[in-house]
Each structure stands twice: as structure tokens, then as C-alpha cells.
Chain A
Amino acid sequence: MKKPLLVFNQNGIYCPIAKIYMDAWRPVDKVIISHAHADHSKNGHKHYLTHPNSVPIVKHRLGNINIESKEWGEKFTINGVQFSLHPAGHIIGSSQVRVEYKGDVWVYSGDYKRENDGISTPFEPVKCNTFITECTFGLPAFNWEKQEIVINEINDFWEECKSNHQTAVIFAYSLGKAQRLIANLNLDIGKIYTHGAVENLNEVIRSYKNLPKTYRVTRETKKEDLIGNLVIAPPSTHGSSWLKKMVPYVTSSSSGWMTFRGARRRRAIDRGFVLSDHVDWKDLIQTIKDTEAKNIVCTHGYKNIFSKYLNENGYNSFIENTPFEEEEITGNNV
């Protein structure tokens, strides 16, 4: 049997021939970053490589680092191994990494989703022999509605808050979900206000991508300014004194976990919208078909269950552990 092109070691996902890591979780010399979420782009590496749309965000988060970029589909070779980045549709700039050596092709998915969210470059399946996939929502209970339907629900919720003279607050991850909402919500209803953590990223992203106008919540912002409008804030602000400013407000959350009735009730949030930046069950299966891969490496989330299912369905599948956080559960990612 051939030696595996990519291995999981204590530092990250590693290509021994090219001596380069993907999304390394410990400091290494060279790393390819799939996307700018904190658990995938860690501090302390000597040399970073990622898509141009991720560069300003990674720099904003990590400061002055040594970073280069590659366009979608742009091939580059390291020690005879050919690499290229392909859109993953998870957040702006998020990429899959294709790795080819002597006819053997591996793809590392990073985090991904299939639906065009209007802000990330849409996902493109890449044919390969071995596919390393995330399975955050790798259970048949997860079945996303079309974005349009969920966005309409959120618009209705906003209108309802407005007619009750309340502030609509929606908790969303500062990077990704927040911009997805901003790009899609109906701004005829009112203004979108943002928490500083969200607005800082908006400013970074506006330098290369159009985003509708948003308003930063500052010390000067008055309650009356906010009523009838929508506030986007990171989940960590739930229950904080910062939020008190929004009184009277109604809280909501948008995440794949809102599928579960218990998730919303336990968090004491008024409304939950099922909107995820990860693939659901049917799209996981569709993606695996599309890649035509026979070997599937499952990481992250319900990997044990999903891997067992794949093995029963004729694939050669196994699991690998990564320390990637359950970002949607904790919501601490910025």
C-alpha cells in the first residue's frame, strides 16, 4: 500500500513529502490555512499560505506575519507535490486544499457548505482519491432549509420586533455568519447595528468586498436609536451588561444547533433560526459522491457515526482526531 500523502500528527495535518502542514494547531514552519476562523488559523507559525480573501482577516487577527496567497485553482509545487486551493463556501476566503503526488489526489475540505450564501465564493467539489471531510453536522437529523427561507423568517422576526417597538438582537459569529446576515437581510426594514467585534471584521472585509452599510454600537448609541433596528452581536454577549443597552430587546440565534428544541431553550434565547455555515447530512453525502473518492477521512463533530455509515455503504472510511473546536457550540470564535 502507498504511503499516505497526508497524515495527522501532533502538530496538525501534515504532508511529509512537501514538509508543509494544513491548519496546524501547534507552531510549525510552513502552513496552509483553510480559513480565517481562530481554530484553523493559529498563531506562531513561521510561514503562512492562504487565499487572498483570507489574508487581511488572518493579518487582522494575528498581526504582522509572514504570509503569501494563492488564487482558486492556482497550482503551486513544493518538493514535487502539487497543491491548489478551491472554494469551500464556509466563510469568505475559505478553501479546500487539493494535494497531488504521482497521480494520488487528496483533498482536505476544511469547513464547508454547499449553498451559495452570497458572500463566500461557492463550494466546488474536487475529484480525488481520498477526501478529508469535516462532519460537524454529520447526523441525518440535520437538514437545512434553503437560505432564502431562513432569511425570510429572520426578516419577519425583525419586522415583528419593529412593530412592537423592540430591538431585534441576533447572535451570530463575528466572522462568517455576521457578514452572511448583513449581505442578505432586508435593509428596507431598518438599520443593522453591530457589536465592535463584528464591525472590526466588517471593516477589514470592506477593503476588498462590498458589504451593505452597518452601524457600530458605541457608547454614544442610544436605546432609542436601536429600537426597530437589528443588532448583530457575538454569542458571548448574551446576558452581558453590553446587551442591557438594547432594552427592550428580543434575542435570537442563528446556527445549525438551533435544529434541536433543547438547544434554544437551554440558552434562554427567544428565537432560534437554523442557519449553518457547515454541510448538513444530505450535502455531506452528495459531496462525497461528487468527489468520487473511495477513501474518506472523517474529522470533527459526529465523525464516528458518519464514518460507520460510510463504511456500511461501500466506502473505506476512518476517523482522525483534531482539536478543532465545536465553534458553533461555544461561540467563542472571532
Chain B
Amino acid sequence: MFDFADLVEQIDKTNKTNLKVEALEKFFSSASDEDKVWAIALFSSKRPKRSVKTSDLRVYAAEIAEIPLWLFEESYHIVGDLAETIALLVPESKQSIEPPTLTQLIGEIKDLKKLDEVKQKAYLTNRWSHLNYYSKFVFNKLITGGFRIGVSQKLMTKSIANVTGIDQDTIAYQIMGDWDPEETTYNQLILSPSKEDFIYKPYPFYLANPLDQDLRKLGSCSEWVYENKWDGIRAQLIKRNNEIMIWSRGEELISKQFPELIEMGKFLSNGTVIDGEILPFKNGKIGSFNDLQKRLGRKNVGKTTLENNPVILKAYDLLESNDLDIRNLKYIDRRKPLKKLVLFLNNEKLQLSEYYIFNNWNDVEEAHSQSRINKSEGLMIKNINAFYKVGRKKGDWWKWKVDPLTIDAVLTYAMRGHGRRANLFTDYTFALWKTNDNGDRELVTFAKAYSGLTDKEFKKVDSFIKKNTLERFGPVRSVQPKLVFEIAFEGIANSSRHKSGVAVRFPRILRWRQDKTIKDANSINDLKSLIHE
């Protein structure tokens, strides 16, 4: 018997791709069909609805492990993953009973919602005490949600392709969209999907690789076109059978968040799929990602939000035209009908992401250097003859990002890391100078970052923190402001939600400036001067 927990254990035990694929193949050729469907769902970030509050889960686990709740919380903080913490803390049973199947466990977990606290606890106690470590871990993951265990969609589709003999790209397409694992059979999903099932599916997105070589090695400059790399939400706008939907790259249906785009889609013909970027767009200007965030995470978007935070769709590509899948046309042959469509529609909510043609590499570099002024993150370099492929495939699409913005900031707070770094303070908060109303300079928090130093540097900074702690707030310590770090980030925008008045995207530590004292660190004003208005 090779069940889902065995699969997770095997995947966990190796770093080698071929061994992971081997384990996946073993699972997909031996598991029951219903377990296979659930496994595909879980590896594609579809998860059962949460049926127990995690706060209750912690209390139950602490009781069963016979430790005080604070000790459970400390352990959780250090381990970094709730499912793993519980699996480590609740005692393991040595007696082996027939382990429940994945589908059975998911069914039980779903029913937990209906039980009162006493019964919930009794159920969990019973399950925990009869599962081995990996089954316990998987079980907890099913309850807490979020199943990232080192299996990419690519690995999974490859394994299913190997087992079934179906083309991998076809499988990637089949498992897109909003199917319900409870209502879908393996037959419907993989072996013999019906045509109607595809109506509600987006196409798998084609993704670019970062440019990792000299530009001039790409061959002839004129074989490529150049587009801005927009910083919004990559999405497909689909109209089929008079229904309009928007799918994000993260495979979420985001139609409800962008009603104005759905409205615009009404003017499209049936059988149209546009690949583009949703961008904040106010007063004729592209806004910052920060503005876009106000549109996400809301069930329904109200009138005020619509007015204050309008968006557009910047169209990159046309994947389906007049009911025909045109992904196998050349880039330029897909762009022609796309341009026609945008011109014909003549709707302010749909704009073309223009591409440029350059005759020499110097002009490309010049365009790249203008990116920030254009509110873009860099250049996309696309081969004029490239088909629209599935997933991240190297060779025809490159993304060439601009160098990150940087600033020198002071370390002010620190928190312990997770896992191997559990004993070290590796999660930092950084501050910049600001002149307050009295004319005094004070340090104001501007970003958090936890990556970018070597193990050796982390150890040194850790020992500094332990010796220079000012105050403790649970796992967080305030630190004597003494160390200066160069912080890199991708985007920057004004923000009223942040104490500093500025929000930055993807902050990370570039280097430890041991040559600088805190007096040399930058100010909030320096940071603001990096914003292009």
C-alpha cells in the first residue's frame, strides 16, 4: 500500500527531481481514483475548507501533548509550521492500524465542522494517537490548509503524463480552473474530459525566464520584440457562451473583484481569450501595485473603491479568437488580431501593451533604462516566432528586470528564524531617519526583511542582537540601533497605511554595511525621492 502520506514522506526524503517523479508515478499508478483527484487538487493549491479554528487546534494539541499552551506556542514559533509542530508534539502511537485513505480523511475533516468542541477534540485525539508521523503531518496539513511540500505543478503533470501517456501540456490545461474535487472523477479530469469542461478553464499561462545571459547572445536584435514588464496582476479575460470571467495567474477566479473589466468583456465576441495585466490606472496614469491591493481580498467591490481605484487590462496576447485556440500561431500572428480587436472595441478599459522593435542592442539597453519612468519593472523580450507555450519554458520569452532600488537602513527589531535557523535571530525590521515636529531626528520603521545574508553573517548579527537587546515582546526583541544594512526592493509607492508613509515591494537585505554608522543611514525623505510621480 502506497498512500498519500507515503508519497509525502518519499518526496520529503529527497531533493532529487527524478526520485520525486518516481514517487509521484508510484502514487498515480496505484492509488484509488478518488485519492488521485484529491492529490491533484492539493498539489494545485485547492484545499478543503477549514473546519476547525486553528486556535482551538493549538489548545487541543497542547492538552494532548501535556504541555502548557505557552510552550506549545513557543515550539510552534520555532518550528514555523503548525501541522509539523502538532505532528512533533502529540505523542505517536506504536500500534499500527490500517491508515485511512486521503478521501476518507478529507471527508472526516469536513464533517468536523458540525461537531461541538468536545466531540472535535475526541475525534482529533483519536486520530492523532493512531497515525504515524507522516500521516499525522498530512492529516494536520489537510486541517490547516496550504500544501506546499516541494511538488511543483510541472512535476505533477509530468508524472501523470508518464503514467497515462497523455501529453503533459494537455494535462496542465485539463487541471486548470475551478473544478471541485468532490464532484470530479479522475476520468472526467484526466482520462476523458468532455469538451464542455473546457469552457470554464483558462489556458495554462506561458511564463518568461529571467534573462541570465548577455543580451547580445540572443542573436539578431530584429528577431525579438520588446514589451514593458508591467507590475500588476497577470490574468486571462475569457468570453465563451456569453459568459465572461477573469482568471489570475494564481488560478483564482477574480471576476468579482474587477466588475468594470467584466463589463468591458461584454463587448467581446464569444470564443475570445486575452492574456494581459490588470493595472491600477487613474487620471490617465498607471498607479502602483499598492493601489491594486485595495481591489484584491474583497468579496465585492463597492462604488467608492471602483471610483477611487480604477483599473485597466493591458493586453499582451490573444490565445483564443473566434472559438479557435490560436496558441500555436507565431507571436506576431497572434498580435495582429489582438491589435485589431483592441482598436475595434475602442474601450478605455482595454489597452494594448505595445511592443517595440529595435535595430540594435544599444537601443534595447536605452529602453531598459527608461523602465521606471514608464512605470514598468523592466523589459519583456519575446521571440517574434514563438508559440504560446505552457508554463515556464526557456528560450523564447525573457524578462529583464531593472536593478532594484536600494537604501541604507538601521536594524531596529529582530525575531527568531524558523527550522534550522530557529536559534538565530534572522527576521529583521529596518528603520530610516525622519525629522519630527520638534526638529529631532528619529528612526521610523520602513520595512521587514529576512533574507540576503550568509549563514556566517546571520550568526554574527544574531550574537549582536542577543548582546544588544533593549526589550522583549514575545518572540520579538528591540535592538540597540547600531547596525546598518543596504536594503534592496523592487517597487515603491506612497502609502497612508505605513508608518513611514511609503510602501516598498519585495524588500530584502543586499549587504551589511559594516563601513557605516547609523548616522550615515538614509532618511525617509531619501526614500521618498525614489518615487516616480
Contact = CB atoms under 8 A, between A and B. Distances in A.
A272 B526 CA distance: 47
A305 interface: yes
A267 B15 CA distance: 10
A266 B65 CA distance: 28
Given A261-B84, A262-B80, A330-B459, A140 B71 contact: yes
B145 to A, nearest CB: 17
Interface in B66-81: 67-68, 70-71, 74-75, 78-81
Contacts of A139: 74-75, 78
A140 B424 CA distance: 18
A230 B15 CA distance: 19
A260 B15 contact: no
A271 interface: yes
A263 interface: yes
Contact of A262 (B16, B67, B418, B423): B418
A143 B88 contact: yes
Nearest to B150: A265
Contacts of B418: 260, 262
B12 interface: yes
Interface in A247-274: 250, 257, 259-263, 265-271
Given A140-B89, A143-B88, A261-B84, A270 B459 contact: no
Contacts of A266: 419-420
Given A140-B71, A141-B75, A305-B74, A270 B14 contact: yes
A139 B422 CA distance: 11
B120 to A, nearest CB: 23
A301 B150 CA distance: 29
A256 B84 CA distance: 16
A261 B81 contact: yes
A270 B15 CA distance: 5
Interface residues on B, range: 20 to 34
A312 B67 CA distance: 11
A322 to B, nearest CB: 12
A268 B17 CA distance: 12
B33 to A, nearest CB: 29
A25 to B, nearest CB: 13
Contacts, number: 68
A260 B14 contact: no
Interface string B1-41: 00000000000111110000000000000000000000000
A329 interface: yes
A329 B463 CA distance: 14
A139 B418 CA distance: 14
Nearest to B70: A308
Interface in B146-161: 150
Interface string B415-437: 00011111110000000000000
Interface residues of A, number: 28
B82 to A, nearest CB: 12
Interface string A172-211: 0000000000000000000000000000000000000000
B88 A141 contact: yes
B420 A329 contact: yes
A181 B269 CA distance: 70
A323 to B, nearest CB: 8
A242 interface: no
A330 B39 CA distance: 37
Contacts of B376: none
A60 to B, nearest CB: 26
Contact of B75 (A140, A268, A271): A140
A262 B420 contact: yes
A138 B37 CA distance: 41
B182 interface: no
A104 interface: no
B365 interface: no
A268 B89 contact: no
B14 A309 contact: no
Interface string B89-109: 100000000000000000000
B423 A301 contact: yes
B459 A260 contact: no
B85 interface: yes
A271 B89 CA distance: 22
A260 B77 CA distance: 12
B389 to A, nearest CB: 28
Nearest to B12: A261
B423 A326 contact: yes
Interface string B41-78: 00000000000000000000000010110110011001
Given A141-B89, A260-B79, A265-B150, A309 B71 contact: yes
Contacts of A143: 88
28 contacts: A139-B78, A140-B65, A140-B75, A140-B88, A141-B78, A141-B79, A143-B88, A259-B88, A260-B84, A260-B422, A261-B81, A261-B84, A262-B80, A262-B419, A262-B420, A263-B420, A265-B15, A265-B150, A267-B420, A269-B15, A270-B15, A271-B14, A302-B423, A308-B70, A309-B68, A326-B424, A329-B420, A329-B421
Chain A to chain B: the 9 pairs with minimum beta-carbon distance, closest first: A262-B419, A263-B420, A141-B88, A260-B419, A263-B419, A141-B75, A305-B74, A270-B15, A326-B423
Interface of A: 139-141, 143, 250, 257, 259-263, 265-271, 301-302, 305, 308-309, 312, 321, 326, 329-330
Given A261-B81, A329-B420, 15 more contacts: A140-B67, A140-B71, A257-B420, A259-B88, A260-B420, A261-B12, A261-B419, A262-B419, A266-B420, A271-B13, A302-B423, A326-B423, A329-B421, A329-B423, A330-B459
